[in-house]
């Protein structure tokens, strides 16, 4: 029994080794596929003032500031979707000015050094800012992602969103961790 079995183990190993050399396909990581779905959800759980849209045909714009970690995942997520009858579009840019007509801006990790400037530029504008930079919401951003173990969680700063004229649904608030910006603590 033992000998043939050991031989078959050896063969089994060869097959595994062969199999290992064949993997190749590169796709966006699960983390960003999930985060893309979160962004789409945020858009549905937040109300923007009507003035943010030039007219009823204007698209709903999600901006990505800095290096895009989503790849195609975000495009595939919002493809064919609308928010209150506004078609969703994605804009990518390295400069904030290009994105100021967006309803939501995702601030990439690459902008970590500039968040104070970015947030002060966007202060009081009806734009929901989302980031995965640690402490982003506490610094005055709208929402930031963090990882709890292997799962995605988000912190939300309702004060900032509110002062910018956005209405955040109670459900979103109940699922996120509520934080306040440092300046509001005073």
Partner 1 sequence: MVAGVSISQAQDKSSDVVSTNANINKSSSAVEGPATYKKMSLEELMNQDVTSVARQPQPYGQAPAAIDVITGDEIQRSGASSIPEALRLADNLYVAQKNSHDWAISARGFNTDLANKLLVLMDGRTVYTPLFAGVFWDQQDYLLKDIDRIEVISGPGGTLWGANAVNGVINIVSKSAEETQGLYVEGGGGNWLQDFGAVRYGGTLATNIFYRAYLKYFDRGDEFLTNGDNASDAWRMGQGGFRIDNEAAAENRFTMQGDFYMGDENVPTGGNAHTGGGNVLGRWSHTFSDDSDMSLQTYYDRTHLADPIPANAVTLQPAGTLIDDLDTYDIDFQHRFHLGDRNNVVWGLGYRFTHEVDQPAPAVGFVPETLDQNLFSGFAQDEIMLVKNVFLTAGTKIEHNDYTGFEYEPSGRLQWNATPKQMFWGAISRAVRTPSRVEENERLPFGPPISAIFPNLLTGNTDFESEKVIAYELGYRAQLGQKISTSVSGYYNDYQDLRSTGINPVTLFPFTFQNNLEGYTYGAELSLDFQIFDWWRLHGGYDWLKEDIHVKPGQTDINNALNETADPENQFQIRSSMNLPKDIQLDTALRWVDAFQYNSSVAGTPASVPSYFEFDARLAWRLNKHWEFSIVGQNLLHDRHLEYVSPSPAPEEEIGRSVYGKVAFNW
Q: Of 152, 151, 172, 150, which is closest to residue 161 (Cα–Cα)?
A: 172
- Closest alpha carbon to 128 in 103, 107, 108: 103
Residue 117, token pair as written in the block: 């400037």
Residue 170 touches partner 1, criterion: CB under 8 A? no
Single out the residue of 48, 186, 42, 39 nearest to residue 125, CA to CA: 48
| Cβ-Cβ contacts under 8 Å for 29 (sequence gap 6 or more) | none
* 179 binds partner 1 per the rule CB under 8 A: yes
Contacts (CB under 8 A) with partner 1, residues 127-146: 132, 134-135, 138
- Residues 95-134 contacting partner 1, CB under 8 A: 109, 132, 134
Give the contact letters, 8-37, x = binds to partner 1 (CB under 8 A), - = no: -x--xx--x--xxxxxxxxx-xxxxxxxxx
Rounded Cα distance, 129 and 37, in Å? 16
**Beta carbon nearer to partner 1, 34 or 89:** 34
For position 152 contacting partner 1 by CB under 8 A, the verdict is yes
- Stretch of residues binding partner 1 (CB under 8 A), selected from 86-94, 97-105, 117-125, 151-159: 151-159
- Sequence-distant contacts of 168-176: CB under 8 A, at least 24 apart: 168/45, 168/46, 169/45, 169/46, 169/47, 171/45, 172/41, 172/42, 172/45, 172/46, 176/143
Single out the segment in contact with partner 1 by CB under 8 A; choices: 46-54, 55-63, 83-91, 173-181: 173-181
Which residues, numbered 57-76, are part of the site for partner 1 (CB under 8 A)? 69, 72-74, 76
Residue 127 in tokens = 């734009």
Which residues contribute to the site for partner 1 (CB under 8 A)?
A: 1-2, 5-6, 9, 12-13, 16, 19-27, 29-38, 40-41, 45, 69, 72-74, 76-78, 81, 109, 132, 134-135, 138, 147-153, 155, 171-172, 175, 177-179
């Amino acid at each position: 029994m033992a000998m043939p079995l050991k031989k078959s183990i050896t063969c089994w190993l060869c097959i595994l080794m062969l199999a290992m050399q064949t993997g190749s396909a590169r796709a966006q990581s699960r983390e960003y596929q999930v985060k893309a779905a979160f962004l789409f959800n945020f858009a549905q759980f937040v109300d923007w003032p009507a003035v943010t849209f030039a007219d009823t045909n204007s698209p709903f714009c999600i901006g990505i500031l800095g290096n895009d970690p989503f790849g195609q995942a975000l495009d595939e997520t919002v493809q064919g979707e609308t928010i209150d009858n506004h078609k969703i579009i994605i804009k990518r840019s390295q400069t904030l000015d290009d994105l100021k007509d967006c309803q939501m801006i995702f601030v990439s990790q690459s902008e970590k050094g500039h968040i104070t400037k970015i947030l002060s530029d966007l202060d009081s504008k009806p734009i929901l800012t989302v980031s995965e930079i640690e402490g982003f919401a506490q610094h005055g951003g709208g929402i930031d992602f963090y990882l709890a173990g292997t799962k995605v969680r988000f912190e939300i700063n309702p004060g900032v969103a509110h002062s910018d004229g956005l209405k955040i649904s109670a459900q979103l608030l109940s699922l996120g961790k509520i934080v306040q910006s440092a300046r509001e603590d005073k």
